[in-house]
Amino acid sequence: MFKKDDEQFERTAADPLRRRAAIGDLSRRRTILFWCALVSSVCAIVGSFSGKSALAGLWFAAAVQGSICFKFESDLRLLRVIERLHVGGNDKASG
């Protein structure tokens, strides 16, 4: 089911230029989605105290945004580790 996404991630991780671009893009996406999830959560909490009973959709949206944010974070960490290993490997090979 996720084979196409996995293959695309592998190609991105293998290419230094695409990897650096992906690191910047994922970092920006993660930050935006984090703030969206935070605002949704705050709105759901405030709505819960105001007595509104139809906030299940807002809680669900905040949970989905949070889980996607964690996915971006894990991809970002993996790409950063690959970048460090790639840069560190080149330094040791030349020295």
- pLDDT tens digit sequence for 30-88: 999 999 999 999 988 888 888 766 688 888 999 999 999 999 999 999 999 999 998 87
Number of domains in the chain: 1
Confidence class for position 19, pLDDT limits 50, 70, 90: very high
- Label each residue of the chain as H, E or C: CCHHHHHHHHHHHHCHHHHHHHHHHHHHHHHHHHHHHHHHHHHHHHHHHCCCCCCHHHHHHHHHHHHHHHHHHHHHHHHHHHHHHHHHHHHHHHC
How far is the C-alpha of 33 from the C-alpha of 61, rounded, in Å?
A: 11
Q: Supply the range of the domain harboring residue 69.
A: 3-94
Can you give the pTM of this predicted structure?
0.76
